[in-house]
Structure 1
Amino acid sequence: MDQVKKILGIVWMLLALVVAYYGLTMFGIPKVMSDKQEDNVFGWIILTVLMPIIVGGLGIFGWYSFTGEYADDKI
């Protein structure tokens, strides 16, 4: 089971990279560069609030899982 946790840790870290790329290229930067006020505000909220929370959470969870912090023998 610990091997599955390590593999899933790698999956979570890769998912964090995919979300960061997709969030920046599809939601963040194009919305910030828009001329519409509501798109501009939404883009800044995505870049400054949501992206660090989502990417940071996925990355930290994946790293802890990969390094064995959630191992069965570590109680």
Structure 2
Amino acid sequence: MNALKKLLGIIWILLAAAVSYYCIAIFGGKLSSGKQDDLVFGIIIFFILLPLVVSGLGLFGYYCLTNEYDEDYD
């Protein structure tokens, strides 16, 4: 089970990197398109959703790799 947790930790960290690349590559054009609707959408994606999603996935992956979930709190 610990090997599965470590493997999933690596997958979560890679998924965080993929999400950050996808958001920067795809939604990066929204900030410079010149339309106000695209600008508001780009700001929401970049400054609110992107940090939440990437930090959550990365932190969860880090905890899986460092065996944080193995401790018993009895």
- What TM-score do the two structures reach when normalised by structure 1? 0.93
What is the CA-CA distance between 1:35 and the residue it aligns to? Answer: 1.1
Identity across the alignment (%): 50
Runs of 4+ in structure 1 deviating by more than 3 angstroms, as ranges, are none
Matched, 1:68 2:67: yes
What is the CA-CA distance between 1:70 and the residue it aligns to? Answer: 1.1
Which residue is equivalent to 1:26? 26
What is the CA-CA distance between 1:12 and the residue it aligns to? Answer: 0.1
Which residue is equivalent to 1:13? 13
Q: Aligned pair count? A: 72
Name structure 2 gaps, 5 residues minimum.
none
Name structure 1 gaps, 5 residues minimum.
none
- What TM-score do the two structures reach when normalised by structure 2? 0.94
Matched, 1:53 2:52: yes
Task: For residues 20-73 of structure 1, give each alpha carbon's deviation from its aligned partner in whole angstroms, at most 9, with x where no partner exists.
Answer: 00011101x2000111100011001100000000000000000000110012xx
